[in-house]
Amino acid sequence: MTKRKLGNSSLEVSSIGLGCMGMSFGYGPAKQKEKMIPVIRAAYENGITFFDTAEVYGPFINEELVGEAVSPFRDKVVIATKFGFNIDFQSGQQLPGLNSKPEHIKQVAEASLKRLKTDVIDLFYQHRVDPSVPIEDVAGAVKDLIHEGKVKHFGLSEAGTKTIRRAHAVQQVTALQSEYSLFWREPELEIIPTLEELGIGFVPFSPLGKGFLTGKIDENTAFEKNDFRNTVPRFNIDNRKANQALVDLLTSIANKKKASPAQIALTWILAQKSWIVPIPGTTKLNRLEENIGSISVELTSDDLNEIEAEASKIKVQGERYSEGAQKMIDR
């Protein structure tokens, strides 16, 4: 496994990380911990050193899973977690809205440290920008945690360029986590140029388009009742049919390269910038191995040009979030 540094920071991680959300949250019922720990440990054995979680995944149970799974090799990996949703600490119930008040951030940090079985959080992201709290106050709270030795690096998630600049002026932002793939390319317009200018790393979540770019989802796929993709316009049946053209493009390139569509999708992201580290998620060992295998796939400049030319002819249909979730995206 190759390594990459996130922007101009000292934080070095494997070129591909592991997004752990789907093991506990979002894609149907939470999976059994006893089945997920071997997946996380297999990721480490195959060179992955970057594990992504958040307090809201569950809530709480995904952090507990990651903490237990990486405990035998904690000092050799980077754990990223997140604050910013409004969660009752006692009941674990998610309350309406966001909460990035400085005192709440510090409470979340203490609770996350316990669940992760660690004495320091390597990368602490604000999960969503809270419009009721100045980002300078948020950055200041994380700066305090860094000075106390409880956090090493500050990150933002789904933040717009103005917020990124304001936060970075108070405390260096090591990484931005946002959605990015051939299925969602908006970050290319303003976000990626801003990150490059400021020396901030980029950690794309959903680099496989929430599973769509693997080629394993079509208009006949039925999601489980509590799979959030049921609420995502991009995944309604008509849009799935229309967006199949993008999967067909990836499949044609994959056939030439003796690879899978998922591997081409990940290799394409890795080819964009040397400081981009995607975090595909999976609950299956064979998919984990497939994702890691993308490191060995080579896309030439001709291949990349072909993908660019053909992808530019395809207009992806459907919003990437429900209306309610869209309102939490910072612009």
Active site residues: 57
List the structure tokens of 226.
Answer: 């509590």
What's phi and psi for 174, nearest 5 deg? -80, -40
With the C-alpha atoms ordered 60, 63, 66, 72, is the resulting torsion angle positive or negative? negative
Strands 94-98 and 50-52: unpaired
Query: With DSSP H G I counted as helix, E B as strand and the rest as coil, what are the percentages for the chain, rounded to 5?
Result: 45, 15, 35
The per-residue DSSP string of 259-275 comes to: --HHHHHHHHHHHH-TT
Q: β-pairing, 121-126 with 94-98?
A: unpaired
CB-based contacts of 117: which residues, under 8 Å, 6+ apart? 67, 68, 71, 74
AA identity, residue 158: E
Contacts of 320 (CB under 8 A, 6+ apart): 179, 183, 184, 232, 233, 234
